[in-house]
């Protein structure tokens, strides 16, 4: 199975923690790490902005990126939240197998019930 690390930024540590917990509870991610403070620079509505944000990294399978993204968008306070998936091209095979075991079964995605 293909695996990804999904990066999401949030306006606060509390919001990042809430989103991360929801992703793991729904088994859309096997694990989420929250980095409480990052400095961000970005363009928004025609102006260069700067701010402090939190970042979360979710480890999951590639086939769960779409439902994970939908869940983040439903929970997030930003109109256009950053959700990007980066392929995991290698790593500890035992850890990658653990991701598979702790996420939704491939044949029963979150919309299959």
Q: What pLDDT is stored for residue 106 in this prediction? A: 75
Comparing C-alpha atoms, which of 79, 80, 85 is closest to residue 23? Answer: 85
Please list, residue by residue across 70-106, b when 16 or more beta carbons sit within 10 angstroms of its beta carbon and e when fewer do. Answer: ebbeebbeeeebebebeebeeeeeeebeebeeebbee
Q: What pLDDT is stored for residue 113 in this prediction? A: 42
Taking only the tens place, the pLDDT of each residue in 70-111 is: 999 999 999 999 999 999 999 999 999 999 999 998 765 555
Taking only the tens place, the pLDDT of each residue in 37-56 is: 999 999 999 999 999 999 99
């Amino acid at each position: 199975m293909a695996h990804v690390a999904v990066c999401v930024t949030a306006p606060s540590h509390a919001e990042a923690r809430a989103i991360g917990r929801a992703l793991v509870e729904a088994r859309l991610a096997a694990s989420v790490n929250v980095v409480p403070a990052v400095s961000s620079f970005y363009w928004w509505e025609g102006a260069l902005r700067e701010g402090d944000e939190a970042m979360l990294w979710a480890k999951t399978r590639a086939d769960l990126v779409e439902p994970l993204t939908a869940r983040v968008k439903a929970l997030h306070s930003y109109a256009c939240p950053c959700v990007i998936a980066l392929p995991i091209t290698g790593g500890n095979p035992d850890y990658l197998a653990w991701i598979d075991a702790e996420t939704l079964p491939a044949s029963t995605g979150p919309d299959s019930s």
